[in-house]
Chains A and B, each alone.
Chain A
Amino acid sequence: MFGISGPDIRRRNVVPLSAAQTALLLCLLVAPAVVLSGCGRPTEAHDALVIGIDQDIPTLDPAMHRSRTVEAVLRNVFDGLVTRDPNMRIVPELAESWRAVTPTEWEFRIRAGVRFHDGTPLTAEDAAFTIRRTIRPGAIGGQSSPRKGLLGSVIGAEARGELILRITTGEPYPILPKMLTFHEIVPKAYIKRVGDAEFARRPVGTGPFRFVQHVEGERIVLERFDGYYGGAPDIPPVGPARIKRLVFLPIPEVATRLGALLAGEIDIAEKVPPHTMRLLQRTKGVRLSTCTGTRTYFIGINCRRPPFDRVEVRRALATGVHLQRVVDRILGGTATVLAGPLVPAAFGFDKGLTPRRFDPAAARKLLSQAGVAKSAEFELDCVDNDRELAEAAAGQLSELGIRVRPRVWKWDVLQPLLAAGERDLFLTSWGNASLDPSGILLPLLGTGARGNHMGYSNAEVDRALERSQTEFDPRKRADLFVRVQRQVYQDVPAAFGWAREEIYGVRDRVRNWEARPDSMLMMHRALLATDGEAEVAR
């Protein structure tokens, strides 16, 4: 296994090789070295904007993934019916306007004069095709889209004329416009002609950049689409993209991604860790771009397992861990401590709740009242990326008189154990790019829900969540969510929590681009200053 012990070679009477054989062997070995010695030319300057992303892009079909990185890249090639502006407001993109005709029927008016990269005009039929392709089993070359759930109760879509799209839902679905931000419109005619597999290799969309090349695991090259209709009118400036070439390089290793930024090989590095911020600020020609993300981090508590089935114990844990200190120290203050599962930017966020105050004395008292033995031992699970946070939190919890040990897992191993309810405490997170509570409260806190590894169950919460699904009145919906947040605050199924800032390292020559909460890498409006301009700007 270690490759040290060789094969079983015993000395035998070796017959010498002929001189020719030896010469051949040596030539084969030496020739490449001669070629290699010519290395060492510095990297050339170039006019492409290059972004280092943190993972490979396994497919280019916008309906065939559940990855935010894939979406962040593809959003440059494809547009949706609606999109979000930098403040996460929903604004029209390929749709000009929309309305709910009945609680279960929606009508979207498609923008006229939009063309796909292959020249075909966009019609309502393309939009209807996109939606049908996503919700129908086996509709994509015999495979089903994993994005069906992102269309909730949508059951059908059809074109009513050239530019009118009718979407039908099985039950009232108030968040349809929000959810349509996750769906990029694909060309029906092109896909019918070349097939789904070829479409996934050479995609065609209506976005500001057209696809040029994808070398899997290595790079995705896009080029400005000159026939672009200009993008969402509500997000100025409107017009074609301002950079000529856009390149995405998957660089999974953090240090390598940073190294590439420092060496000038890439212009933007995503997911930069907080501890490197000072280095980047000190570095000439590089700046930072940050904003609070949509993912909530928390320490889940398994409510089914004694002693955590008692709310006092859970409250003790949540009171006895100084999350503010943890995120200040480990994340360099690049996180916001939260009172509950929702981030402040989310719909229905309860401003009335404040994060629990750290009070170790009260926590100790609660624990001893609940009769938790001083020697009690628990494990706090986490994945490798969160190990520092978990170690710090476990250290604090251990000062309450119990023993909490961090345990570092790989997510694929931990996930099934959490789902089976076999663990005590776990530091984990839940992403909610829709910023609608339906994307986090429901799957995280509903009884038996997919992400409810806490085993939390509260009939009132379930009822409120159920009602929120079909409630059209935004104010009533928000009230329902506030009620859920208050109940959850009382029940403490987890020590909430914090939202982290998304941090990007950006070279100065990149202008007019800032980090977005939904971590989309929309480069439509970005531009590249020439070297001289970048110098003057400093």
Chain B
Amino acid sequence: MRIVLVLRRLALLVLVLLGVSLVVFSMMHLTPGDPVQLMMGQAGHVSEEEVEALRHEYGLDLPTGQQYVRFLSGAVRGDLGNSYKHKAPVAQVIRTHLPATVELTVWSLVLALLFAIPVGVYCAVRRGSAGDWAAIAGGLIGVSVPGFWLGLILMLVFAVWLKLLPVTGRMDHFLAFEPITGFYVLDSVLHRDGAALLSALKHLALPAITMAAPMAAVSSRMVRTSMIEALQQEYVLFARAKGLPEHVVLAKHALRNALIPTITVVALQTGVLLSGNMIIETVFSWPGIGRLAVLAIEARDYPLVQGIVLLYAATYVVLNLGADLLYGWANPKMETQ
């Protein structure tokens, strides 16, 4: 049953990717702006022939349809072309920027859940109390200010004034740290380098908190709602009736069921985070894929934009699938429906 589901969803993935590739390709090529002119900038000593030669080299002089076929046939073989700006294969450029984004996203998720679960449970149990509303309001601050503003304020307070945390980057440059996987926390563990680990975590703190804030707010609401529902279920009432202590009822019976929808939402949110983090990446000079995407669009670096968007789309679909499987794993009944 589950294998059929996975296969069907994978087929869907291909379909969605095809649709996304068509959308991104036509969007980029409908967009006015010439990559070569933008590369040359507002400066002199640029010859006409030079511009034409580069346009030819990038295949920009071909009819649009032919360019799409070219791009698609390359993509099928796993060749996404060369980035105009980086002068290197798109896959390689993405690979060097991806770990930073994934690392930041993962830690933000962790932070968000660490906040959301206890707060959500508390609010559900003390539903309607002053504490509940305070937590709602407090948590809401996270979704209620623009991320870049929150990031700048946090940076100002914790890095510039209090000097507790670093302002910028992923790692202290003087540690002469050689990345292995590109995930710095993991890499410093692999290097058995305590200083590097500390540095990596310190650099992660502010961007991760900034990114976690909206997520924490949304998922604490989610936990609260699910907990309230779970607490009304018969098995919880039954457990209470049996005279089990309240904390056991909460942890054993209610919470672990309430967590499932939360985790599903969080998995889906990850897709949103991966695409929404370009702003936070800019504020904290975090060399990730979001910033790369913005710069690629501004430079009309078509191959790079297409590559990044396809990656996003694939991630989104896969996470969706993952969420469904997770849900199915927790609710075997769903599949039989």
Contacts and interface: CB of A to CB of B under 8 A. Distances in A.
> CB–CB under 8 A between A and B in the complex?
yes
Interface of A: 3-4, 6-7, 9, 11-17, 19, 21-22, 25, 29-30, 32-33, 35-36, 38-44, 46, 48, 50, 52, 56, 58-59, 61, 64, 66-67, 137-138, 140, 143-144, 146, 148-150, 152, 179, 197, 200, 213, 215-219, 221, 247, 249-253, 255-257, 259-260, 262-263, 265, 410-413, 415-417, 419, 428-434, 438-440, 442-444, 450-451
Contacts of B51: 450
Contacts of A46: 174
B334 to A, nearest CB: 6
B137 interface: no
Interface in B153-175: 155-156, 159-160, 163-174
Contacts of A444: 44
B113 interface: yes
Contacts of A19: 252
18 contacts: A14-B260, A16-B235, A25-B259, A33-B110, A36-B201, A138-B57, A149-B40, A217-B288, A218-B287, A221-B176, A252-B291, A255-B155, A256-B283, A259-B156, A412-B38, A438-B44, A440-B44, A450-B40
A39 B201 contact: yes
Contact of B300 (A247, A412, A417): A412
Interface in B266-285: 268-269, 272, 276, 282-285
Contacts of B165: 39-40
A263 B272 CA distance: 32
The range of chain B's interface size is 35 or more
Contact of A21 (B172, B229, B256): B256
Interface in B19-61: 32-34, 36-48, 50-51, 53-54, 57
B295 interface: yes
Contacts of A38: 198, 201
Interface in B61-90: 82-83, 85-88
Given A19-B252, A218-B287, A143 B41 contact: no
B117 interface: yes
A14 B233 contact: yes
B323 A410 contact: no
A411 B330 contact: no
A7 B268 contact: yes
B332 A15 contact: yes
Give the most central of A44, A137, A412: most B CB within 10 Å: A412
B287 A419 contact: no
Contacts of A44: 172, 174
B9 interface: no
Contacts of B331: 12, 14-15
A12 B176 CA distance: 53
A217 B41 contact: no
B308 to A, nearest CB: 14
A391 B268 CA distance: 42
A179 B87 contact: no
B297 interface: yes
Contact of A22 (B48, B167, B255): B255
A146 B39 contact: yes
B205 A433 contact: no
A362 B277 CA distance: 52
Given A15-B330, A216-B96, A255 B152 contact: yes
B240 interface: no
